[in-house]
């Protein structure tokens, strides 16, 4: 079994749900408390042993790449002024020289197409996919849980969670086989089914460990839900040929592609922040008590 060392971050989306905030700024640069969404995703990947990072970007996304570069003037100024705390705050933004690459998704043809755009980076290796919109608060980072499940099963693993049946049309949904309560065998996958047609209410969140063979399936460019090339459809074609499991991860997921989910993430992460938590708890109490 090959070790998991590569991760792909699809970040070419237009962020239409966050306009006007995202008119001139990548939605993945929106901060939750004090860190942009993309940095949470990169740090989570690193914590799972990922050493090579590929961002699938588009026009207007250069800030995402800048964020993980050395900021020489800023760092020199902070050193001159002996601002050690501020310097330490930059630690999570540093990646090994040469370990982060970008490819462009020139046309918005869907998540499956975005992953296919990273095919030269992926090569013949297993790879992770992290959608930065999905933020997971967990003791063991979500991707590390998936990586452990990959080492156990030797195949594709997606992070899954139960959703209300009326929400199935927002997600990729599993058809399930053998289930030990944590790992569940995937026997089918449907992208955004109507509630009445959903084979279960177990949905995929934006964390995947996939085998490179999915690229060959995505290359067919079959259009699925919403007229897009869906990653879910490419993955579905691997079922029966390779191990494929869903992992009920431990942790809480926030959909930061949605305004309410994004605001909830701010509160949840602020309440975990040692310096902020007391003040936030106090003002929340004031709002709730009116």
204 binds ligand G1P (CB under 6 A): yes
172 binds ligand G1P (CB under 6 A): yes
Taking CB atoms, the residue at the shortest distance from ligand G1P is 172
Which of the 8 DSSP states describes residue 169? G
203 binds ligand G1P (CB under 6 A): yes
Residue of 191, 213, 217 lying closest to 204 (CA atoms): 191
Distance (Å, whole) CA 131 – CA 133: 5
3-state DSSP call for residue 95? coil
Tokens 């809480």 belong to 252
Q: How far is CA 285 from CA 126, 254, 280, 282, in A?
A: 47, 22, 8, 5
64 vs 205, which CB is nearer to ligand G1P? Answer: 205
Give the CA count within 13 Å in the CB-facing half-sphere of 252. Answer: 11
Distance (Å, whole) CA 8 – CA 44: 12
Which of the 8 DSSP states describes residue 197? G
How many positions of this chain bind ligand G1P (CB under 6 A)? 13
End-to-end CA distance of the chain: 57
Q: Which of 126, 132, 206, 246 binds ligand G1P (CB under 6 A)?
A: 206
Residues 78 to 117 in contact with ligand G1P, rule: CB under 6 A: 111
224 binds ligand G1P (CB under 6 A): no
Residues 133 to 162 in contact with ligand G1P, rule: CB under 6 A: 134
Closest distance of CB 206 from ligand G1P, Å: 4
Phi-psi region of 279 (alpha: psi -120 to 50; beta: other; left: phi over 0): alpha
Q: Which of 4, 205, 209, 210 binds ligand G1P (CB under 6 A)?
A: 205
217 binds ligand G1P (CB under 6 A): no
Closest distance of CB 159 from ligand G1P, Å: 9
Q: Which residues of 41-76 are buried (b: 16+ CB within 10 A; e: fewer)?
A: bbebbbebebebbbbbbbeebeebbebbeeeeeeee
26 vs 205, which CB is nearer to ligand G1P? Answer: 205
232 binds ligand G1P (CB under 6 A): yes
Q: Do the beta carbons of residue 12 and residue 62 sit within 8 Å?
A: no
Candidates 33-41, 148-156, 179-187, 201-209: pick the segment binding ligand G1P (CB under 6 A).
Answer: 201-209
Q: Which of 28, 191, 217, 233 binds ligand G1P (CB under 6 A)?
A: 191
202 binds ligand G1P (CB under 6 A): no
Distance (Å, whole) CA 29 – CA 6: 22
Candidates 93-101, 117-125, 203-211, 215-223: pick the segment binding ligand G1P (CB under 6 A).
Answer: 203-211
130 binds ligand G1P (CB under 6 A): no
126 vs 233, which CB is nearer to ligand G1P? Answer: 233
36 vs 93, which CB is nearer to ligand G1P? Answer: 36
Q: Which of 9, 53, 150, 171 binds ligand G1P (CB under 6 A)?
A: 171
Footprint on this chain of ligand G1P (rule: CB under 6 A): 111, 131, 134, 171-172, 191, 203-206, 230-232
């Amino acid at each position: 079994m090959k070790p998991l060392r590569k991760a792909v971050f699809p970040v070419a989306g237009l962020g239409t749900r966050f306009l006007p905030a995202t008119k001139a700024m990548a939605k993945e640069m929106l901060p939750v408390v004090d860190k942009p969404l993309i940095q949470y995703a990169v740090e989570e990947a690193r914590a799972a042993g990922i050493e090579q990072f590929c961002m699938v970007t588009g026009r207007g996304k250069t800030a995402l790449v800048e964020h993980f570069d050395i900021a020489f003037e800023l760092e020199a100024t902070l050193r001159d002024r002996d601002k050690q705390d501020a310097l330490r705050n930059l630690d999570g933004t540093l990646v090994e020289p040469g370990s982060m690459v970008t490819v462009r998704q020139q046309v918005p043809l869907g998540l499956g197409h975005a992953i296919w755009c990273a095919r030269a980076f992926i090569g013949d290796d297993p790879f992770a996919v992290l959608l930065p919109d999905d933020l997971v608060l967990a003791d063991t980072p979500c991707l590390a849980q998936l990586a452990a499940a990959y080492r156990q099963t030797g195949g594709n693993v997606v992070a899954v969670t139960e959703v209300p049946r009326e929400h199935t049309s927002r997600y990729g949904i599993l058809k399930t086989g053998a289930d030990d309560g944590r790992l569940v065998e995937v026997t089918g996958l449907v992208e955004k089914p109507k509630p009445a047609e959903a084979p279960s209410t177990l949905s995929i969140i934006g964390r995947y460990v996939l085998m490179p063979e999915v690229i060959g399936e995505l290359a067919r460019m079959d259009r699925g839900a919403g007229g897009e090339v869906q990653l879910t459809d490419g993955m579905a074609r691997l079922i029966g040929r390779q191990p494929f499991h869903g992992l009920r991860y431990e942790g809480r997921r926030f959909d930061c592609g949605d305004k309410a989910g994004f605001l909830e993430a701010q509160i949840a992460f602020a309440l975990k922040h040692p310096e902020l938590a007391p003040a936030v708890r106090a003002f929340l109490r004031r709002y709730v008590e009116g």
